[in-house]
Amino acid sequence: MDTDLVLNPFGAEMSDIVAIAQAADVADVGAVWITDHFSGEMVGASWSRDPFVCMSAIGAVTERIDIGVLVANITNRHPVQLASAINSIQSLAPGRVRLGVGSGASPGSRFASEHEMLGKQLGDVSQRVRLLTESIQALNDIWAQVPVNPADEMGFSGLSAVVDGAVMPRLIVGASAWSTIEVAIQLADGVNIRRTSRLHEQLERLQAAELPAGFEVSVLDMREPGAALGSIPDDLLDAGVDRYIVTVSPAADLDAVRALPRH
């Protein structure tokens, strides 16, 4: 099982993001991810950092690790703009880019305030699942050079010259509900599930499901900045999990990442 890091962009300095990525590149880490948030307000931070700028900076100073966004918020990002950003990073770090997508925050949740800042109306579960499905289908069409996608909100017409011919990166869906996990099974290359009280129920259902060949299951573990970066939890080792992803703070956790076993 691979261990990955997801960088917390809230209140982070780009120099710290670059430094911790360089440390991960020589450590026993599979990938470095960055979350997609433009405001630090919901966690009491003074700012956040753009995920695609961070991914580009990481790609420029690393050679081995994969680089991904966990996850791009499709409620705020049209698939064409998302594809352009990700494909640009592919040209910088070919073969190392991963694309995580998610349906956005639930109404009333902590991160819903970002949508409210933009005047975005958050739909119910079924509406967000529909938009996620449309987005994934649109992303596939963009990399396949299909000029027209008729979807109401995530479609396009007469589209051309967006991506450079690179193979579409592995697409991972961030999910917390089974309806979203089902979208991942049907349309994506993997699913990322945050550790909650329902995690083992969801992993058991995944183990019983008929998954596509090469489908990847990862678990996101939220940890406090400065807490020990321990080994993979025993409860995940036999649960069909392929990647264990833990959150890190670029400034507070640099020494902990440097202390990890070397690759």
Label residue 116 by pLDDT band (50, 70, 90): confident
The residue assigned the tokens 């360089």 is 22
| Nearest residue to 34 via CA among 61, 54, 48, 12 | 54
Q: Is the pLDDT score of 240 beyond 90?
A: no
For residue 15, the model assigns a pLDDT of 98
Pick from 51, 52, 50: nearest CA to 89: 52
Report the pLDDT value the prediction gives residue 119, as an integer from 0 to 100.
86
**Is 10 within 8 Å of 243 (Cβ atoms)?**
no
Residues contacting residue 198 through CB under 8 Å, at least 6 positions apart:
176
**CA–CA gap between residue 193 and residue 2 (Å, rounded):** 15
What pLDDT sits at residue 212?
Answer: 96
Q: Which pLDDT belongs to residue 60? A: 97
Angle, nearest 10°, between helix axes 79-92 and 125-143? 50
Which of the four pLDDT bands, split at 50, 70 and 90, describes residue 135? Answer: very high
Which tens digit of pLDDT belongs to each residue from 158-213? 999 999 999 999 999 999 889 999 999 999 999 999 999 999 999 999 999 999 99
**In CATH, 2-258 is 3.20.20.30:** yes
31-41: average pLDDT: 94
Domain boundaries, the chain: 2-258
31 pLDDT more than 90: yes
State the maximum Cα–Cα separation within the chain, in Å, rounded to a whole number.
51
pLDDT grade for 54, boundaries at 50, 70 and 90: very high
Mean pLDDT across the chain: 94
